[in-house]
Structure 1
Amino acid sequence: MTNNSKNKLKASVLLGLMLFLFSCASYNEKIAGYYKQIATGNYNEAVKELDKNRLLQKPRNKLLFLMEKGKASHLIGDYENSNRYFNEADQLLENGIGGAMDAVVGTLVNPMTQAYKGEDFEKFMIHYYKALNYLYLHKTEDAIVEARRISLQSQEQGDKFNDKENRYSKDAFSLMLQGLIYESDGDVNNAFIAYRNAAEVYLKSPDKTYYGTTLPKELELDVLRMADENGFKSELNRFEELFNIKYQPQPSSEGGTLILFWENGLAPVKQQEEFLFSLIRGSNGDLVFTNAAGTLFIPYNTAYGTGDINLNSVNSLRATYPKYVAQRPYFASATITNADSTISFEKAEDINELAFKTLNQRFAKEMGKILTRLAVKKSAEYALKASAKGNGKDGKDNSLLEGLGFGMQLYSLLSEKADTRNWQTLPSEIRYARIPLKKGDNAITLTLKGVNGNNETKTINITGTGKMQFYNYSTLR
């Protein structure tokens, strides 16, 4: 190789490394302007940041854009447009995102270049916000349709796994929300079924906990009350025993009830984590990836074929994978005070816990795909370099093939990147409370207690109508 060629090669390496360092910025860092405005409560400014963000305008990020746009519009109180965006996101998911070419791009480059398909819990949260939007717009029938679609989403999610007991195959919070919507419409039969289904998700766990959320006492009372109202005596007795509660019917509040959801903190963000693996033959002769410590063993994905893989060329693979980083909420707890009493919130959904555990559940399967893709690239690069030796004129090295091999090596280094995208303005957790209302005006005080000892209060004015009403309050910081 001539000096000129070598200088060009060095310049290419330097430029490549600069591009590599730039491209290592996480998704969170690339939408920092929008994220900051959301966290500080400047929702109108957040929408402006969202609209001018080039990354979110890319077709592969359409689902993310629609979910963020729907959430920002909801926070502003523009419920019509919020559901317009959420409905479009819903339709996108229903039609299917990506395809054969999308999969090829992900294989040749990295998962970040593929169309974003959404986390499973993110899909359930679309139903939550859509249902609230419809209720606030007094479109009860549409809210009920959304409640029914929660059952379809649950079925679709459950069908993905054989080992449902150890997987996020149902969303207990969404089933509870379904029950609340049915109850608000006076459909006590479907309300009981939904509450029962939600409770049974918790009861399958020895400690009645599902992804960081313990079976709420309010949900237990909902199951018992609906069983009683339906006249389901055997079900009432069964759940009294399961909950260790003797049900005592209570008179209905004259002004109805308020279901208050408190959305606290921000969901965790994704960052890139790096791993080093080697490809070896297992005891049964199968190809297996293992880390240096010998604590991880991940099967080679045979869908890529094994005939051309040279083990000598795949002795050190740098793989990347996303990891969640929790965001510490500003507020630690909250209480509600009305004219008669002080009421505590109960946790209904722990998105922080869901994010960490569901990502970990699919680690082996996804890392297998990533490592196999890297092994195929590495083997091809090795073959090119080997072909370059002695294939030139007069038995000299073929600099073109050598350059191609080096280029492939550089490309593999620069293109390897974890997918750090997620719906980042979801709350860290959702808590809820059922508040009895008096007829007419109700002043409800929400006292928020900060982790640093700073308290804030928020007064919510609700007119008691004798029916069930909903309200969600966000502290996204």
Structure 2
Amino acid sequence: MKRLFAPALFLLLAACAASYTSMMTPVIGDLNRGMPEQAIADLKHSFSDSTGDDRLLYLMELGNLARYSGQYGLASSILLAADRLSDVQRGTDLGQQAEAMLTSDLALEFRGADYEKVFINYALAASYAAEGNIEDAVVEARRVNEKLLEFNDRYGDNPNRYTDDAFIRYFMGILYEMDGDLDDALISYRLALAAYDSVYSKDYGFSSPERLRSDAMRLADAIGYQSLLDTYSSRWPDTGYRHLPSGSGEIVAVVELGTIAPREERDYTVVADDRVYRLALPVLPDFSRRTIQGSISAGGVSSDLFLVQDMNGIARENLLDQAGRNVIRAAARLTVKAGVAELGESIAEEFTDDENVSSGIGLVLSIFGAATEQADMRSWLTLPGQIHMTRMTLPAGTWPVTVNIDGFSRQHTPVQVRDGEITLLFIREDAFCGYRRVH
């Protein structure tokens, strides 16, 4: 009987080796080296079946990589397909649930976390806006609002920690402002303020940026909401605002930093009474949030970057929300697998009347159950780890732009600033690829 423990160990190691995280390692490596086109090739090579239960995940990764490579039309079509697929993923597949109880949650169709579903629409809006298509970008902004309302209605009195997205609310407000809809822009800014100063302050450790407060005050003044402006002025006496001077425009830079941390597997394996028992759970290690010093410079003006989104914090809190359910499912699966091993041993003993054979079959079944036990580490890994932003006013014209992050700088393509308009600029930090140190 002891000779069977060697293959048991081999199977367990093999089960641990093949994970979504390891499969995506070359993709993330090339992305962080500033090679999104090669990352796309890596992704297509790694996904042997892009039409199966992981199709949504494949579309999200591929669409985001296309966006990072500047293929905005392709990105939009892929991300639209992802959004539509996510919308129709409803109900429970009993066959998948049964298979998951006998193997692992990897047998289940990937449906994505709430924050991932919302980020599909951000990525879509960013792709449209990068091409100057503000009308369709605004449509995606409204889709975000619909999704957040749906999520909160679904959970009722037991909401997840991800109940709102302050950054995307802020970004929505900017899109509305670009579209000339100041009322909806102000509503979005106010919703962003509320989310930053409640959910984000409590769960992610940072509150509303000074610039967002200034933007809300500026629009309240522009629209003529004097009582709201008075409230804000009393709440933030040190916060000022200014309207866009004649002959000037604004650059809004959205800077996506790094990639989101991958999940890790925490497993517990016990060998007892000629049985192998294994329980595996997904975790996100707790680590300090990266702090950066960054700015955008153009036309003799420099504006500091400020934190607007901590994707790592959101992903970690989301997984903590699921932790109780994950433990219950894993424990139930362990019980089912133990029952299968016992049943197999009983049937074998009845047919063979040989205790050694029946015990061996029970052990083999328990080895199979342990080997198939894997934590579900699937998540959208091409998401940024953090997002920073800045807003700067410049005279109308075309200006070279310099991105400065932690003492390194990179020249960006010159940006055209139009009188009275906002120009959106999307920047991804590729692990300092193409940056030079500032002395």
Alignment partner of 1:474 is 2:428 = yes
Once the 2 structures are TM-superposed, how far is the Cα of residue 398 of structure 1 from its aligned partner?
A: 5.3
Give the counterpart letter for 1:464 in structure 2: V
Give the drift of 1:104. 2.3
What's the offset of the Cα at 1:225? 1.5
Superposition pairs for residues 73-472 of structure 1, below 5 Å? 73-96=66-89, 99-162=93-156, 167-204=161-198, 208=201, 211-245=204-238, 247-252=240-245, 254-275=247-268, 318-325=278-285, 332-385=292-345, 391=350, 396-397=353-354, 401-449=358-406, 455-466=408-419, 467-472=421-426
Which of 28, 34, 38 aligns to 1:35? It is: 28
The change in CA–CA distance for 1:374 and 1:208 in structure 2 (over 3 A counts) is: closer
Match of 1:285 in 2: none
Give the TM-score of the pair, scaled to structure 1: 0.81
Q: Among 15, 18, 29, which residue is 2:10 paired with? A: 18
Going from structure 1 to structure 2, the CA distance change for 1:129 and 1:186 (only over 3 Å counts) comes to same
User: Identity, % of aligned pairs?
Assistant: 24
What amino acid does structure 2 have at the position aligned with 1:469? T
Instruction: Report the secondary structure of 1:332's partner residue.
Output: coil
- Change in 2 beyond 3 A, CA 1:18/1:172: same
Aligned-pair CA distance for 1:58: 5.8
Alpha-carbon distance between aligned partners in 2 of 1:110 and 1:400, rounded to the nearest angstrom? 27
Checking the alignment, whether the CA contact within 8 Å between 1:35 and 1:46 is kept in structure 2 is yes
Give secondary structure in 2 for the equivalent of 1:65: helix
Q: Alpha carbon RMSD of aligned pairs, Å?
A: 2.9
Any unmatched runs of 5+ in structure 2?
A: 432-439
Paired residue type of 1:468: I
CA, structure 1 residues 211+33, in 2 after alignment: closer, same or farther (shift >3 Å)?
A: same
Aligned equivalents of 1:343 and 1:247: distance in 2? 16
Q: 1:268·1:326 contact (CA, 8 Å) conserved in 2?
A: no
Q: CA deviation at 1:423?
A: 1.2
Q: Work out the CA distance in 1 between the residues paired with 2:198 and 2:157.
A: 13
Q: Per-residue CA shift, 1:215-255, capped at 9, x if unaligned?
A: 11111112111222221222222233333456554343623
Question: 3-state SS of the aligned residue for 2:374?
Answer: coil
Using the alignment, how far apart are the partners of 1:202 and 1:188 within structure 2? 21
CA 1:422–1:14 in structure 2 vs 1: closer, same or farther (change >3 Å)? same
Report if aligned partners of 1:319, 1:370 keep a CA contact under 8 Å in 2.
yes
The Cα shift of 1:213 comes to: 3.6
Deviation at residue 193 of structure 1 after TM alignment:
0.8
Unaligned runs of 5+ in 1: 1-5, 278-311
Alpha-carbon deviations, 1:400-449, whole Å to 9, x = none?
64444223211111110001111111111000001112111222222121
Q: TM-score, normalised by structure 2?
A: 0.88
User: How many residue pairs get matched?
Assistant: 426
Stretches (4+) displaced over 6 A:
326-331
Q: Deviations over 1:311-341 (max 9, x none)?
A: x99x995311112258999993311223343
Please give the alpha-carbon distance, in whole angstroms, between the structure 2 residues aligned to 1:259 and 1:100. Answer: 48
Query: In 2, distance between residues paired with 1:148 and 1:126?
Result: 13
Give the 3 Å change call, closer, same or farther, for CA 164–397 of structure 1 in structure 2: closer
Mapped pair 1:60 → 2:65: no
Task: Show the counterpart of 1:300.
Answer: none
* C-alpha distance 317-242 of structure 1, shift in aligned 2 (>3 A): farther
For 1:199 and 1:331, how far apart are their aligned partners in 2? 22
Distance 1:75 1:327 in 2: 26
Secondary structure of 2:406's counterpart equals strand
